[in-house]
Amino acid sequence: MTGFDVYKLYLSVKLHFSSDKYNFFQYNGKSRASLSSYEKRNDKYFFDKLANKYKYDALVEYFVSQFTTQDDIWVGDIVKGKGEKNYYSWRKRKQSLRYTFGSELDQILNTIQEPYSSNFDKLFECKSGIHPIILKLYFKKQISLETLVILNQVLNFLPALDKILTDPIWMTVRNKINKYSPFLQVDITEYRNLIKEKVVQCQNF
């Protein structure tokens, strides 16, 4: 890949996470960019550097790890230490995804009283202007975005919260969950069963 190819891929992933109208998978990761405009960029060195270091699939993951970790991104930061740290932390979570989810699910359940099967729904209860427990845990960085995405893939809790929450913070998290989800496909049955094991015959299953 050339630096220009990396730049176009960067734009595609950025558009996916920042635009309601663009879907990375629908457009096969394509984006509009001209070589002449790229050549005029002061930061093209960074894209050239990434092109020499990573192949296509790794670059997709690299950019996804950035846009799911931080909101305000400059490509210079991505290439330097901060970007590498985000990427390796993301890879670590991805490689141990089931273990991480199980551990964070334990933390989630510890916030409610037993029997969990009767109180599980309380994790997602909210009133206008008040975020549910599950979001508060994410804001406190006690659970990862990956755990939120998987929970939504299994439980589909976003539509219910959408009916109540309209604040900018919620909309940002909601969009991030939806945009990240196609990059984090898991075996729904496997994770549903894991939740069942943890919750012990939860009434929702």
Backbone angles phi, psi at 127, to 5 degrees: -120, 165
Question: Can you give the length of the chain in residues?
Answer: 205
Q: Is domain 3-93 in CATH 1.10.10.10, yes or no?
A: no
Following CA atoms 157, 160, 166, 171 in sequence, which dihedral angle do they give, to the nearest 10 degrees? 20
Asked if domains 3-93 and 97-199 share a fold, the reply is no
Task: Return the pLDDT at 202.
Answer: 47
Q: pLDDT tens digits for 18-76?
A: 999 999 999 999 988 999 988 988 888 889 989 999 999 999 999 999 999 877 677 77
Which of 201 and 163 is assigned the larger pLDDT? Answer: 163
Burial 46-58 (b: 16+ CB within 10 A, else e): bbbebbeebeeee
Q: What is the pTM of this model?
A: 0.90
* % of the chain beyond a pLDDT of 90: 70
Q: How confident is the model at residue 80 (pLDDT cuts 50, 70, 90)?
A: low
Q: pLDDT tens digits for 98-118?
A: 999 999 999 999 998 887 877
Between CA 5 and CA 35 the distance in angstroms is 10
Task: Return the pLDDT at 205.
Answer: 47
CATH code assigned to 97-199: 1.10.220.50
pLDDT at 204 over 50: no
Task: Return the pLDDT at 153.
Answer: 97
Q: What is the mean pLDDT of the chain?
A: 90
Give the domain ranges of the chain.
3-93, 97-199
